[in-house]
Structures are given as structure tokens and as C-alpha cells.
Amino acid sequence: MRFLILSNEKPHNFWFLNTIYKIDEKEHIRHNSFRTFFMKNTANNYLFDIDNSFSKVLPIERLNHDKAVLTHYLHNMHNGVTSIFEKDALNFIKLYVKHQDASTNTKRNSDEALQSLLFSINAIPFPPPKDYKFTFIDLFAGIGGFKLAMQNLGGKCVFASEWDKEAQKTYQANFGDVPFGDITKSEVKKYIPNQFDILCAGFPCQAFSIAGRRGGFEDTRGTLFFEVAEILKKANPKAFFLENVKGLVSHERGATLETILNVLRNDLNYYVPDPKVLNAKDYGVPQNRERIFIVGFRKDLRIDNFQYPYLQPVNNYFSSSVLTKLLRVA
């Protein structure tokens, strides 16, 4: 889980915090009680009904995919990206109603079911802002740390992807929507909106097949960074936030990071200041957790001055004066 705070000290300054708790695939089980508590809310009741209705009918991956389409549709009814999800979501609602009617010997219509879903969708622990200031997508989303931070800054998530099933459950409990699965699959990528303001991604560290030269876009093919770069190339958002482990700095003797920066700066034409490794313990979080952060801005925005923040007293981090300069971008 990641927290991101943007500072108002200098133009285009922002600093980043990782969560107090380190979550990985093997640690999700420790948060079952936390997840169960949050899942006892109105917005998730219909998802329980869907699980109960289809768990023995549809394969789990198909069911999770359909729930992702449905919840993304419900959460994006009024922000211009509804059409991407609408057809498949409405078809799934019809299937759900038909299945429910058959099992309960009742008769409803899809419109009634849709109204019921819309009524309950925001009864969740962390609802999106009603009057959002920018849009973003959440790749390799984990349990939603990036999303929580961006929502707190006035952002609206229009797409989320996370392949880990346990993380998907926690994400659903926190935000009322289900992330899509494997971002490398075409049936997932087709739901990414063509327009959004910011791309957020905590992509894994992987080696590239580079032989004695500085790598470019095609050299990253087959890696998860390539998926990120491909989305940036197609959608050309105003900005991006990338997070990775500290080891990316020395990975393959620095060749991996050099290739990433070359792709972002030269192939994709973003202004990318030098990345920086920050430690959560230096920003008021009781954990020794070092991560590298890479940020970038589209060059037509004419942003050419960026500095990562200096250390500050902990009580300043969450004060009311903390604002986002990114709103100027969005």
C-alpha cells in the first residue's frame, strides 16, 4: 500500500510516502479481519450476491473480470468514460437479474437492478470525490494505496488493474470496485480509457534483453514496464508516477534504469527529472522502506523544474496546507 503526498512548497514539488505496513502476496492473509470488517457495508452486498449467484456457474477469473467491468461502469457513470464499460456491464446486469429471478422465483428488470446498484455504490470506506479535479489510472494497484492518496487530492480513478486475487478483495472492500486482472491481456487493456490525466504504477523490476547499447522502447517488450510504456504512448497523459524497489538503481549494473529513463525521455518525450530513492522512515512512517520514484510530465505543459522534497517535521506532512501542485497540471 502506498501513500503519496504532494507538497505546495515549490512548483511541481512532491514527495512520497510508503504505507506503515508492507503488503505482499504472502501477507494479505494477515489482513483478513481488516478486510472482513470493511466488506460489511452496503456497497459490497450486491457483490456478495453476485459471488453467491455465479461462483458455481462461472470460472473465478471470468467472474472477477465481469465484476471489474460492472464496478468500473458504476463508478464512472458521469465522467465521460462510461461507454467503454457500458455494453458489457449492462449485459452482465441482465444475466445477473435473470439468474436471480430463476433462483428466487421473482421477476425484476435490469433498470431496477441498476438503480439499486447505483444507490449503494458509494456506501464504502473510501468513496471517490464528488467533484473531482483530475483523472488517473491505477496499475499494479495492490490494495489501493496510490488510489487512496490520489482521491484525497481530488482525483478520480477511471481504471484499476491488479492480478493478485487477495489484493483484489481488499481493494474491493476499500473502494467498492474490483480491479481488472492481468494488464498484459488484450481483454483487460481494451477497457483502459483513451484519455486520463495521470498514470500511477508500481511496476515490478525486470531485466531487458539489451546487448551493449542503450535500450529503447522495443527492447522492453515482454516486460511489465513495456505495458506501462505502451499505455503512456497510446494515451499520452499529462503526467505519471512510477514506483519501484531500491534495487532498480543497481539492477543489471544500472542498465535497466537507464533503459527505462531513455524510453520515458526520448521515445515517449516526457520531461523526467532524475529519479530519487526515498525512505519511508524519513517521512514519519515507522518502517525502513526504501523505494525509487520516477515522475514525468508531458513536455507541452512546459514543466522543466522539479525537486524532490526536503525532509520536514512529521506534523507538517498531513497539515491543511498540504496541497497538490499537480492540480495545475490536471
Q: Catalytic residue among 137, 205, 229, 330, which?
A: 205
- What are the phi and psi torsion angles at 230 (to 5°)? -65, -40
One-letter-per-residue 3-state SS of the chain:
CEEEEECCCCCCCEEEEECCCCCCCCCHHHHHHHHHHHHCCHHHHHHHHHHHHHCCCCCHHHHHHHHHHHHHHHHCCCCCCHHHHHHHHHHHHHHHHHHHHHHHCCCCCHHHHHHHHHHHCCCCCCCCCCCCCEEEEEECCCCCHHHHHHHHCCEEEEEEECCCHHHHHHHHHHHCCCCECCCCCHHHHCCCCCCCCEEEECCCCCCCCCCCCCCCHHHHCCCHHHHHHHHHHHHCCCEEEEEEEHHHHCHHHHHHHHHHHHHHHHHCCEECCCCEEEEHHHHCCCCCCEEEEEEEEEHHHCCCCCCCCCCCCHHHCCCCCCCCCHHHHC
Pair 167, 28: CB distance under 8 Å: yes
Pair 182, 188: CB distance under 8 Å: yes
Region of 105 (left: φ > 0; alpha: ψ -120 to 50; beta: rest) is left
Annotated catalytic, 205? yes
Q: Which residues contact 208 (CB under 8 A, 6 or more apart)?
A: 215, 219, 220, 223, 252, 255, 256, 259
Catalytic residues: 205
